[in-house]
Amino acid sequence: MTANSHPARPVILGQNQYGKAENRVVKITRDGDTHHIRDLNVSVALSGDMDAVHYSGSNSNVLPTDTTKNTVFAFAKEHGIESPEAFGIELARHFVESQEPIHRARIRIEEYAWERLAASDASSRFIGADEVRHSFVRKGQETRVAQITYDGEEFEVLTGLKDLTVMNTTASEFWGYVKDKYTTLQEDYDRILATSVSSWWRHTWTGGEQRPPAWDKSYAEARKHMLHAFVETYSLSLQQTLYQMGSRVIENRAEIDEIRFSMPNKHHFRLDLEPFGLKNDAADGAVYFAADRPYGLIEATVLRDGAEARIPVDMTNL
Amino acid sequence: MTANSHPARPVILGQNQYGKAENRVVKITRDGDTHHIRDLNVSVALSGDMDAVHYSGSNSNVLPTDTTKNTVFAFAKEHGIESPEAFGIELARHFVESQEPIHRARIRIEEYAWERLAASDASSRFIGADEVRHSFVRKGQETRVAQITYDGEEFEVLTGLKDLTVMNTTASEFWGYVKDKYTTLQEDYDRILATSVSSWWRHTWTGGEQRPPAWDKSYAEARKHMLHAFVETYSLSLQQTLYQMGSRVIENRAEIDEIRFSMPNKHHFRLDLEPFGLKNDAADGAVYFAADRPYGLIEATVLRDGAEARIPVDMTNL
Amino acid sequence: MTANSHPARPVILGQNQYGKAENRVVKITRDGDTHHIRDLNVSVALSGDMDAVHYSGSNSNVLPTDTTKNTVFAFAKEHGIESPEAFGIELARHFVESQEPIHRARIRIEEYAWERLAASDASSRFIGADEVRHSFVRKGQETRVAQITYDGEEFEVLTGLKDLTVMNTTASEFWGYVKDKYTTLQEDYDRILATSVSSWWRHTWTGGEQRPPAWDKSYAEARKHMLHAFVETYSLSLQQTLYQMGSRVIENRAEIDEIRFSMPNKHHFRLDLEPFGLKNDAADGAVYFAADRPYGLIEATVLRDGAEARIPVDMTNL
Amino acid sequence: MTANSHPARPVILGQNQYGKAENRVVKITRDGDTHHIRDLNVSVALSGDMDAVHYSGSNSNVLPTDTTKNTVFAFAKEHGIESPEAFGIELARHFVESQEPIHRARIRIEEYAWERLAASDASSRFIGADEVRHSFVRKGQETRVAQITYDGEEFEVLTGLKDLTVMNTTASEFWGYVKDKYTTLQEDYDRILATSVSSWWRHTWTGGEQRPPAWDKSYAEARKHMLHAFVETYSLSLQQTLYQMGSRVIENRAEIDEIRFSMPNKHHFRLDLEPFGLKNDAADGAVYFAADRPYGLIEATVLRDGAEARIPVDMTNL
C-alpha cells in the first residue's frame, strides 16, 4: 500500500529516511609495531518502502537502527577502513542490496585526523626508533567529511571539509560597493580576511565499471589547491576568493565537477585607539577585535561548465 | 555578463547567496510600566546579479553585509517586531524591492522566549503589583524558528522549532522488525520514547491579497497539536509517532500544508542490574542509562494530500 | 609507602582524585499510572591511599571507575533518587565506608527538570485524564547542581544552579564610576540589566544527628528568594544586585550560611540609529544589540556574619 | 567601611572580583612582508576595596569593566604581545599600580596558535617566495592558557594547556584492581589509552629582581616533555602515566615547581563481534567504539619535593 493509493488519507507521507547517526568507530591497523588509525563518525540514513511503519507502526520492513550500528562496526573489522569514501560505498551497497525494502542508502562520515608523536632522543636511542610507533596526537585542524548515496544503480560521492580556519593579514580590500540609506561602512584598502571554510565537492565517479579515484590523495589535493588559491588571491571581496578557491580545485582535479562553499567572514575589526593617543594603522601592525556575531556569510556553488549542479544549497547550513 | 555567456570560462558560478548572519536584535516595547520583549537572531541571505563580484571582485552590485545588519536593527525600531514571520516579510520585501540587483532574499530567524518573573508577596503589597512589570526569565525550552523567502513575486514562509525535548515513560513498544545477520536487538514491549523535536512547516500563504495567518497564534497551535499527538499516541515506532504529530498539525491547521521532522531517538537503555542482584523491570519503575551517541534518527515530511513538497530534506540536518 | 617517606623521590604526588564522571542516570518511579522522573548527571571523585597507583601503576587500592559507574546505577534502583543531595549523600557514604583506601568522596550532580505534558481536551474526555500521566517535556531552564563531599566524619553539601538567564528591561543605572585615561564609557540612567546566574550555596548541615533539610523545598525557596531580589532591586550596579540576591537567600533560609555567584553582565547595547534618522531612547522602547563577548563578569561570595567561607573561588569558573 | 566593621549587617561580603572577560584581541606584527600573529582571549578580574559597590551600589571605587577592555586593546598596541605571560604581567601590574582601590589583579589568557600556509610552487616561482608571508591556518590543536596574578608585591604565573588529545594504541594494561560487589569490569592486557590533557603548571618566578623565564620556550619545552613521557610510559594505569608526565616536566624544567592535570580517560571499547562471526583481538588490529560519556576522570597535582602546592583543585574543572 502506498500513500497515494489509500482512498481516504488526507495527509500523506513524503520523503523520509531513518538510521543510526553518529556511530563513533575507530579502527587500528597494525603493521608490525607500526600502528595506523582511522577515526570516523558514521551516520546511516535509509529510505524505501516505509509507508507502513509511519501509517500503522508495523515494523515488518524496518531493519532496526541498532542493526545498522552493528553493521558499521562489523564492516570496519571485515573490510577495514581504506578511506571514508570507500567505507561508505561498501556500507551503502550492503544496505540497498541486502534488504529488499531499502531502495536508497545515504552514509555520512566525519573523519578526525591523527598525527604521530615522537619519542625523546634519549628514548629513541635506548628503545630503538621502531619501538614507539603507536603514539598519536589528534591533529585538530579541519574535519574531513564524506557523503555516499546509492540508489541501487548509481553512487553519488561527495567529499568535503569543515572548520578549516584561515587568515590573510593583508592583500584584502573592500570598496566600491552599493551605498543606500542604511550604509555606514567605511571602505577599507588593507583589511584582514579570515574565514572558516566549509565545503562539499562532488566526484564524477558514479560506480559501475569506472575506476574510482584514489580518495585520500584526491582529498589532499583538493584541500591543497583550495588553500593555494586562498594564499595567492589578492582579494577585493570574499566572493572573489571563494570563486578562485573553487575554480582552482576544478581546474586541477578532473575527478571533481562541482564544489560548494559556505564561508563566514570572520570579522577582525581594526580598533580606533585615537582616544588613547595611539595610531592603529594596518601598515604598522595593528590590533584587531575578533568578533563572533554577527558575521558575513558567503555561500556559492562553483562548477565545471556543462556539469549539473547537484549539491543541495542547505548541505552547508551553518 | 552572465556565467554562461562568457566564451572561455571553464568553471562557472552556480547558486550563491550572501548577507549578514546572526544579528542578535532585542526589541523592548513599553506599554506604560508593562514591558514586552522580542529577542531574535536574524540572518540575511541575498541573491541576484552577483557574477561580477565572484569573477572579478567588483562590488558594484553588492550591498555590504554590514548594511544588511544595519537594516535589521533600524527596521526593528521603525516597524517593531510583531512576530518573527512579520518582521522577516518586511525585511525580505525591502531588500528585493529596494535594490535592483537583488532578486531574492531569504531571512532566517530564531526566537528566544521569555517569561515574566513575579515579585514577592511582600513587595507586591508595598510597591503595587503593576510596578514590577519589567522582569523576565528566559524560558529556555524550544527555540522557535522561521524562514521567509521572497523572489519579488511570491513569499514562502516556513515556521518551525528545535530542541523541544519530550519523553513518554511508557506506552511505547518496538518489535516485529527485520532481523538480519547483524541484528542483536531484543524486542521491547515497554520502553521509554524520548526525542528532541526539530521541525519546519510551510504556510500556504504566499503574499499578495491573501490575509496572512496570525503568526503567533498559528505557532502556538501547531506546537500544541504536535505535542497532543505525542502524548496520545501509543507508539509502535518513532516513525508512527512522527506521522501522528505531523498529520495532527495539518488536519487542525488549514494554513499549514506541509511539515518536516527530524527526530533523534534519544535512547534510554534499561540496564541489566542482575549482576548486583537487582531486578530492573519497567513495570516497577526502572533505572535507565541516557545515551548520547549513537542515536536513531528519524526524518520525514508529512503533507496534505495534493500539496507540493517544498521543504528541503537538508533543512533539518542535525 | 607515602610520597614523603620515599628517600629519593624528587617529585611527589599532591592532591589527587579519580572516578567516573558524567553518569547519565534516569530513574522512573511509577505511582499507579502516574510516573515521576529524576534525570541526573552524576560524577564521582575519590581520594585516599593512592600513592602506589601513581608511582608504580599498582592498582591494588583502586576501585575501578567502571565500578563507581555501576554503583551509581545500582543505587538509583536500590535506594531510589529522592533528591540529588540525598542520592549523593548515600553514594559518598558508601564509597568511604566500604573501601578502606578511600578516605574522601566527592559527588557532583546536575539535575535536568521535566514538566508534565497535557493531553488534548478531546482525548482527556475519551481516555480519562488519569490515563496520560507519563508524558513530559524537558523544562530547559536552569540546571540544578549539587556537590556532596564526605571525609568519613563530616559531610559538606553544596547546592546551586547554572544557566538561569534573567533580565530587567529598566530600573538599572550605571554612573559615578572611576574614569582613567582608558575610560570612554558613557553613563547610563536607564539600561537593561541581564545576566545568566551561576551560583553555589552551602548548607549548614554536616551529617550526624542533625536533621537534614528538605532538599527539594530548600532548593525551590533559595531560587525563589534570589529571583525576588533580582526583581525588586533598583540596580546601580550588578554587584549591588548580586549582594541583594545573596543576602535575601541567607536572611530567609536558616539552613544556608554561604552563597557564591558568578554573574556575567550580558550586555545589551542600545544602538545609535541617528544615522538612519531614528531616535532610540530607552523610554520609548528601544532596540538593543545582544552582545556575546566580551562580557563583564561579577563574582562574589556572600555569607552569614560569623560563618566560615568555604566555597572555592574557582567552583564558579565560567 | 569594611564589612566587618558594620555594626548591624547580618550578611557580609566575602571574596569578590570583577572585570571584563573574553576580550578577543589579535595583534599583527609586520616584519617587512613577513607578518606574525598573536591571537588571544583575555579575561580581567580585579579585587580590592569593593564593599560600597556591593552594599550600596556606589561605583566610586569601580573602574568600569569597559575600561578594562579598552586597556587590553590599547596595551596590545602600546606594548605589543611578546607572549601571553608577558602581556598578562604588564596588564596586572597596570591595574594594581594605577588604581588605589585595586589590590589584586588576575589576568586569564587563552592563546590560539596559527601556522603559515604555503603558496603553490608555480606561484612561488612567479611572485617570489617572500611575497606571500601573510597567510595562515589555525593550528587547531591544544589551546595554550596562562593566569597571571599580582597583589602589588608578588606575581604568580601559571601556564597551561587544554584540549590536547593523545592516544597510545597499545602499551597500556589495566588489571589487579579492587573488586567489590559492583565490579563487573574485565581485566585488559592490551588496551587503548587516550586522553584529552588539561594542565596548569606554576612557575617559580614571582617578579622583583628575578629574571623571568623565556615564556614561549618554556611552554614549548614543558609540552614536549609531557608528550615524551606519554609516549614512553608503558602504562598500567592512567594515574601512572599522569605522574610520569608531571615528573618529567618538573625534572627537566627548573623554572616549574608544580603541575596539575585533569585527564579524562577517553574510553575506546573493543567491541564483541562474535555474534557476527568475527574475532576482534587487539593484536590483529581491532575495532573500537569511542565513547563520550561517562568517562573516567583522573586529576592530580605533581610537585617538586619541598615546594608548596598552590594550584587550586578546581582550576582544572572540566
| Per-residue model confidence as pLDDT tens digits over B97-143 | 999 999 999 999 999 999 999 888 777 655 555 556 999 999 999 99
Q: What is the pLDDT of residues A103-145, one digit of tens each?
A: 999 999 999 999 999 988 777 655 555 556 999 999 999 999 9
Tell me if residue D203 is catalytic: no
pLDDT at position D147 over 70 = yes
Tell me if residue D20 is catalytic: yes
CA atoms within 13 A on the CB side of A144: 21
Q: How far apart are CA D119 and CA D100, in angstroms?
A: 53
CA of B229 vs chain A CAs: smallest distance (Å) = 14
Q: Which of A27, A35, A134, A267 is catalytic?
A: A267
Contact B2, B51 (CB under 8 A): yes
pLDDT of res. D315: 86
Residues on chain C touching A182 (C-beta within 8 angstroms)? 276
Count other Cβ atoms within 10 Å, centred on residue A174: 23
Task: Say which of D10, D21, D302 has its CB closest to residue C304.
Answer: D10
Mean pLDDT, chain B, whole residue set = 95
Beta-carbon pairs below 8 A across chains B and D: 9
Q: CB neighbours of D226 closer than 8 A, spacing ≥ 6?
A: D197, D199, D245, D246, D248, D249
Task: Say which of D99, D183, D243 has its CB closest to residue C55.
Answer: D243
Quick one: average pLDDT of B173-201? 98
Best D180, D185, D271, D276 member to test B by mutation, with max B CBs in 10 Å, is D276
Chain D residues 62-101 with CB within 8 Å of chain A? 70, 73-74, 76-78
Contact B18 A260 (CB under 8 A): no
Name residues of chain C where pLDDT drops below 70: 1-7, 124-132, 318
Task: Say which of C25, C231, C273 has its CB closest to residue B117.
Answer: C231
Contact A231 D118 (CB under 8 A): yes
Task: Say which of A20, A24, A239 has its CB closest to residue B50.
Answer: A239
The answer to whether D35 contacts chain A (CB < 8 Å) is yes
Contact D231 A76 (CB under 8 A): no
Using CB atoms, which chains have 3+ pairs under 8 A with D? A, B, C
Q: What is the pLDDT of residues D42-61, one digit of tens each?
A: 999 999 999 999 999 999 99
Count other Cβ atoms within 10 Å, centred on residue A183: 17
Q: How far apart are CA C305 and CA B25, in angstroms?
A: 43
Burial of B122 (0-12, 13-18, 19+ CB in 10 A): exposed
pLDDT at position B3 over 50 = no
Contact A138 D166 (CB under 8 A): yes
pLDDT of res. A123: 72
pLDDT of res. A1: 37
CA of D74 vs chain A CAs: smallest distance (Å) = 7
The answer to whether B165 contacts chain C (CB < 8 Å) is yes
Contact B11, A302 (CB under 8 A): yes
Q: What is the pLDDT of residues A35-59, one digit of tens each?
A: 999 999 999 999 999 999 999 999 9
Best D28, D124, D230 member to test A by mutation, with max A CBs in 10 Å, is D28
Q: How far apart are CA B48 and CA B92, in angstroms?
A: 13
Name residues of chain A where pLDDT drops below 50: 1-4
Best B201, B243, B303 member to test A by mutation, with max A CBs in 10 Å, is B243
Q: How far apart are CA A89 and CA A150, in angstroms?
A: 8
pLDDT of res. C1: 37
The answer to whether A54 contacts chain D (CB < 8 Å) is no
Q: Which of D27, D35, D36, D65 is catalytic?
A: D65
Residue numbers of C annotated as active site: 20, 65, 267
Q: How far apart are CA D238 and CA A275, in angstroms?
A: 53
Backbone φ and ψ for D248, nearest 5 degrees, come out as -60, -40
Nearest CA-CA partner of A43 in B314, B294, B185: B294
Q: What is the ipTM of this complex?
A: 0.95
Residue in D with minimal Cα distance to A225: D120
pLDDT of res. D4: 46
The answer to whether A13 contacts chain D (CB < 8 Å) is no
pLDDT of res. B127: 54
Task: Say which of C17, C182, C296 has its CB closest to residue D71.
Answer: C182
Burial of C211 (0-12, 13-18, 19+ CB in 10 A): exposed
Residue type, A137: V
Residue B228's pLDDT band (cuts 50, 70, 90): very high
Chain A residues 229-268 with CB within 8 Å of chain B? 235-237, 239-240, 242-243, 246-247, 250-251, 258, 260, 264-265
CA of D276 vs chain B CAs: smallest distance (Å) = 6
Contact B73 C289 (CB under 8 A): yes
Q: How far apart are CA D139 and CA C20, in angstroms?
A: 31
Q: How far apart are CA B289 and CA C26, in angstroms?
A: 6
pLDDT of res. B122: 73
pLDDT of res. B316: 75
The answer to whether D293 contacts chain B (CB < 8 Å) is yes
The answer to whether C123 contacts chain B (CB < 8 Å) is yes
Residue in A with minimal Cα distance to D77: A287
Q: How far apart are CA B114 and CA C301, in angstroms?
A: 28
Q: CB neighbours of A121 closer than 8 A, spacing ≥ 6?
A: none
The answer to whether A34 contacts chain D (CB < 8 Å) is no
Residue with cell 544615522: C275
Contact C178 D63 (CB under 8 A): yes
Helix C84-98 × helix C65-79 angle, to 10°: 130
Q: How far apart are CA A311 and CA D264, in angstroms?
A: 39
**Within chain C, how many helices (H) and strands (E) appear?**
6, 13
CA of D22 vs chain A CAs: smallest distance (Å) = 11
The answer to whether A272 contacts chain C (CB < 8 Å) is no
The answer to whether A139 contacts chain D (CB < 8 Å) is yes
3-state secondary structure chain A: CCCCCCCCCCEEEEEEEEEEECEEEEEEEEECCEEEEEEEEEEEEEEECCHHHHHCCCCCCCCCHHHHHHHHHHHHHHHCCCCHHHHHHHHHHHHHHHCCCEEEEEEEEEECCEEECCCCHHHHHHHCHHHCCCEEEECCCCEEEEEEEECCCCEEEEEEEEEEEEEECCCECECCCCCCCCCCCCCECCCCEEEEEEEEEEECCCCCCCCCCCHHHHHHHHHHHHHHHHHHCCECCHHHHHHHHHHHHHHHCCCEEEEEEEEEECCEEECCCHHHCCCCCHHHCCEEEECCCCEEEEEEEEEECCCCCCCCHHHHCC
Residues of chain B with pLDDT > 70: what percent? Answer: 95
D241: left (phi over 0), alpha (psi -120 to 50) or beta: alpha
Mean pLDDT, chain A, whole residue set = 95
Angle value at C-alpha A88, between A86 and A93, nearest 5 degrees: 100
Residues of chain B with pLDDT > 90: what percent? Answer: 91
pLDDT of res. C123: 72
